[in-house]
A and B are shown apart, each in its own frame.
Chain A
Amino acid sequence: MNALPIDLALAWESLPALFDGLMVTVFLTALPLIIGLALAFPICFARMSARRALALPAEIFVVFFRGAPLLILLYLVYYGLGQIEALRNGPFWIVFGSPFGCAIVALSLNHAAYMVEVLRGSLLAVPHGIVEASEALGITRRNIFLWVRMPLALRYGLKAYQNEVVSFVKGTAIVSVVTITDLMAVANSIFEQTYDPFTPILCAAAFYWAFVNLIRVGFTVWGRWLSRHSAEDAVVAIPGRQGLGGVVVEAKVTP
């Protein structure tokens, strides 16, 4: 065995296939991120509503789609929904009949559930006095939300959003179980052809690592741009997918 476990010739040869896989992964990240975010807003409003009839279903949605492992959600959508006759004959079968559609539905629902909590935490972190002051100034509720609460919530919740997006990207690696050839699946198929366990998987790891860190850098730049007016950045613990990365520690008590 040579010192380097990577077969450079094979790595070079499989680069195009891995790159195609990466593009599938990027696509399966981008679309659910958009759909999930779009779903998260109304569900978050329902979750924060004082009316029990609205809040309860939203809460159940969050508990189920956050609590269930993504792999099981994917199986549920891919295998389970096909069982429903009405759906099989309905117009939505175009979506649920294809592996891509199923993966996007499962990923979006999962992401939406996490984003509801991120959004809620961020909105609750906005000091109440600011909202009251805006109300006292006679700003309409819609404008308060759009121009006062959301911009602040975005700044408070950016770290939690970043953690969620990063773990979401890593979560997409499971879509190969429904026959989608994403980055992980391409690496696996190269392994099955060559029985080289290191080269394809380590190359895929490098691609994932680069993608994830590109996102991290993007968020850092975004965060710096958002807080370009303020010297110190306020850190608030938001219940995201993870305190992973963002360490939640108590502030030191200064007497």
Chain B
Amino acid sequence: MTNLSLADLAGYLRQLGEGALITLELFFASFALAFVLGVLIGVATLARSRVIRAAWRVYASIFMGVPSLLVIFLIFYGGSAMLAAVLGEFGARIDISPFGAGVAALGIVYSAYVAELVRGAIENLPKGQFEGARALAIPPFIMWGRVILPQVMRLALPGLVNVWSFMLKETPLVSLAGLQDLVAATKIAAGATKEPFIFFVATALVFIAFSAASLWLANRLEVRLDRGQRRAPVRSPAQAEA
């Protein structure tokens, strides 16, 4: 049935492995960017200023309303011109690689989703957390870093896991901008060996396995972050009386 020799297979496996490494790098870099940007945007847009809120609505609406592929192409084709406009002469000389375009595009698109999650989680935190931190004269930087955000992460974790697994499934799109990732390597191997079925199924299974492994880890993390929440809520005496 198959006309693959073992030597061929070993050769392609090496290529696929290299491609998989690039896909992983792309994924981790994009997720890190989306996470950091998302948390910063989420915290910044909680300000009461009307202008900031309006800017957030526009940002979220745009990046949740257009396909990631379109943003990847926009940055890949137009990135140099954009950098030139922002940085002037120096920016014009920067060449946008498919990898850079992919990280920037996925990072920007998913930062909107992360910011939405972070905003929702912060708004669901009891006000007392902020008031308590202020009453104890904890400086704002430490309040966010040590009091608010750890609790936000616990609340936002299920949503972040969603973003994680959805973003993983969008990383192959960057291969359309010319990145030699796992999917591009699979396409080459499939074309050269005339065995597309096996190669594409195998690649799909790699994605599924990675996603399953990370979901398992996320569940462990969730249990760990929830370890302080397991007890039944304690009724304070004052409320019990009332």
Contacts and interface: CB of A to CB of B under 8 A. Distances in A.
A170 B66 contact: yes
Interface residues of A, number: 54
B200 A76 contact: yes
B204 A72 contact: yes
Given A68-B207, A243-B162, A247-B116, A255 B236 contact: yes
A191 B85 contact: no
Given A72-B203, A205-B66, A64 B208 contact: yes
A93 interface: no
A73 B212 CA distance: 18
A171 to B, nearest CB: 7
A244 to B, nearest CB: 5
Contacts, number: 167
Contacts of B158: 237, 243, 248
Interface residues of B, number: 61
A65 B108 CA distance: 27
Interface stretch (B68-76, B130-138, B139-147): B68-76
Contacts of A248: 158-159, 162
B78 interface: yes
A83 B69 contact: no
Nearest to A65: B204
B115 to A, nearest CB: 11
Contact of B155 (A177, A245, A250, A253): A250
Contact of A5 (B66, B81, B124, B191): B81
A80 interface: yes
Given A69-B168, A75-B186, 5 more contacts: A69-B170, A83-B196, A174-B69, A237-B158, A242-B163
18 contacts: A68-B205, A69-B183, A72-B183, A73-B204, A75-B183, A75-B187, A76-B201, A79-B190, A79-B200, A82-B196, A170-B67, A170-B68, A174-B176, A197-B78, A242-B113, A244-B64, A247-B116, A248-B158
